[in-house]
Amino acid sequence: MGQVKKLTGIALSLALAGSLAACGSNNDNGGSTGSASNSGTKAANDTSKATNDTSTSSNDTSNSSDAGIDTSKFETINYVVLGDKPKNGQLEKVMAKVNAILKQKVNAELQFKWVEWADWQTKYNLLLASGEPLDLITIGTDWLDTWGNAQRGAFLPLNDLLEKYAPQTYTEIPKEDWDQSKLGDKIMMIPEDHYTQWVNHGIYYRGDWAKQFGITQPITDFETLGKYFQGIKDNMKGIVPWDVNGTNGTLYTGFETAYTDNIDLPIATGYANVFTAKSYDERYTVDSPIFNDAFIDFAKLMKEWADKGYWREDVLNYKGDTRTELKAGQTGADAHHTQTFKGLRVDMDKAQPGSELQMFAYSDTRGNLISMPITHGGTSIGAHSKDPGRALMVYDLIRQDPELYHLINYGIEGVQYEIKDGIRTRPAGYDDAKDGFYTDFWGGRIDKNEIPSDTDWSGIGDIYAKYDQIKKPFPYGKFVFDKSSVDPEMTAISQVVGEQMPAILFGKAGDPAKAVQALRDKLKAAGYEKVKAEIQKQLDAFKATDQG
């Protein structure tokens, strides 16, 4: 019992250090995921998107016997993924086909180990701290506290394993990307560096309603968004303008991006990232949006929105599914990132014809957009894996083999999808409740094995192009903050942010100026200045190395 209490205490502390931004997913739980990173961008490598390239055919995939590896003992490999496990039976049907191929090729089977969305931060960190023999683990340095978990010994160094057990992936990933996957001189993860995506956060709104309210140009700032919400209040009886889930931290990301020059450091402090760089030009100088006077003005605006009823009175306790409400025409907004938007636009065109769903990306206000790290997604091997070599062999196959890749990502052709003129579409009679399938495999997607889908909005390329024109390179690929000397303070700061910030962002903390000052005072009491000084010290050292 004592050990259980100890592990639970560890997990609660670690969870506070994890950020609240999950990737978009097939089973994304409405607006309940917050946002920790300032913005995202496409993968570092300029590989062509969705070419359905089958040059790496299943017949070309290296067989274990050819590589001189003993696979005589059958192994079950587990893979930690985030999301709610599908319950309609399709996962099991797909995995039966996957595992038949894996048994033939490497005498192994793959089982997904789901960390479900309810209290996912605590569950994920507890799992990694438990000492359980985990094989493949989904990681993300900007939302899953991967560097912190690596420093705590959760992952196995891969230097001596990759070339032998995952040769195609090892060769494919360039040295500079491997360098960004290291803790010291040890490779701790395989980056998802060959997959094009943007996770630039913002708020979705209905274009048809906006036009009805006299908003004829795309929304690019919070002031105009407020006019849109007021239009709903004035014209749409019984509809909450933004029926947001109270755990959503997206407004802090919005403030940071739209109202400051700050850019995120890869240093997580729970619900909101307290520590940032001052700007891209001053990227080696520590700052904090919370201590910017503009944050008081933003808090006042959010209090004004709350008083006007732009979200429900009990927003901090509301756990509803905002996205489902949006599709049903019961609310006028939702929030997540660009990857979610490209599919949601298609869903809304079907569910609410003529709705013309739009996205106000926070970077639209001032062009404050930093590219996403190549380790936003990726895979590590658990420190206590019973067979890390076989785990890597399985990973290499599901990343590189088109047949396995398509099964893992899309399901069974003829059931979950069919291909028409090179485009992936739903078969006639497809019923999502009965036929839907996903694995939330965010640890090794790759453009060359992607098949374009008719569920992706055709206009997404224009949005990507717009982002590409203003983005700045992610500058912290090789910066890993060592928080060992300030770990208690980091935990305390995360607790303060989690307790105080939601009420400020949703206008439920009383007088905004007093609430922000109280937050600042509590952060200082928790050790803000000490942590800031330690970050600055390490950034100074990084700058000296980074600039040669």
In sequence order, which residues have a C-beta less than 8 Å from that of residue 241 and are 6 or more positions away? 228, 229, 230, 232, 233, 309, 310, 311, 331, 332, 333
The rounded distance, in Å, linking the Cα atoms of 426 and 413 is: 9
pLDDT surpassing 90 at residue 49? no
Question: DSSP for 18-31?
Answer: S-SBPPP-TT--GG
Find which of 26-30, 169-173, 320-324 is predicted with most confidence, using mean pLDDT: 169-173
Q: Residue 330: pLDDT band by 50, 70, 90 thresholds?
A: very high
Nearest to 52 by CA among 421, 452, 412: 452
Question: Which H or E run contains 397?
Answer: helix 388-400
Angle in degrees, 0-180, between the axes of helices 90-106 and 388-400, rounded to the nearest 10:
110
Cα 402 to Cα 30, 54, 60, 406, 408: the distances in Å are 31, 6, 10, 6, 10
Q: Is the pLDDT of residue 54 over 70?
A: no
pLDDT at 66: 54
**Average pLDDT across the chain, whole number:** 89
**Is the pLDDT at 32 greater than 60, yes or no?**
no
Residue pLDDT, tens place only, 467-517: 999 999 999 988 999 999 999 999 999 999 999 999 999 999 999 999 999
pLDDT band at 246 (very low <50, low <70, confident <90, very high): confident
Residue ranges and CATH numbers for the domains of the chain are 75-196+373-450 (3.40.190.10), 201-372+476-547 (3.40.190.10)
Identify whether the C-beta of residue 278 lies closer than 8 Å to the C-beta of residue 286: yes
Q: pLDDT-derived band of residue 417, with 50, 70 and 90 as boundaries?
A: very high
Euclidean distance between CA atoms 249 and 500, whole angstroms: 12
Report the candidate in 127, 124, 98 with the shortest Cα–Cα distance to residue 111. Answer: 98
For residue 9, the model assigns a pLDDT of 39
CA neighbor of 359 nearest in space, from 492, 240, 459, 257: 459
**pLDDT over 90 (residue 16):** no
Which tokens in the block code for residue 319? 């756990």
- Please state, in angstroms and rounded to a whole number, the distance separating the CA atoms of residues 512 and 133: 48
Number of neighbours of residue 335 by Cβ within 10 angstroms: 29
Query: What span, in angstroms and rounded, lies between the C-alpha atoms of 327 and 345?
Result: 10
3 state DSSP class of 112: strand
Residue 302 confidence (pLDDT) above 80: yes
E strand or H helix at 183: strand 182-183
Neighbour tally for 497: CB within 10 Å: 24
Check the CA dihedral 435-377-406-160 and report its sign: negative
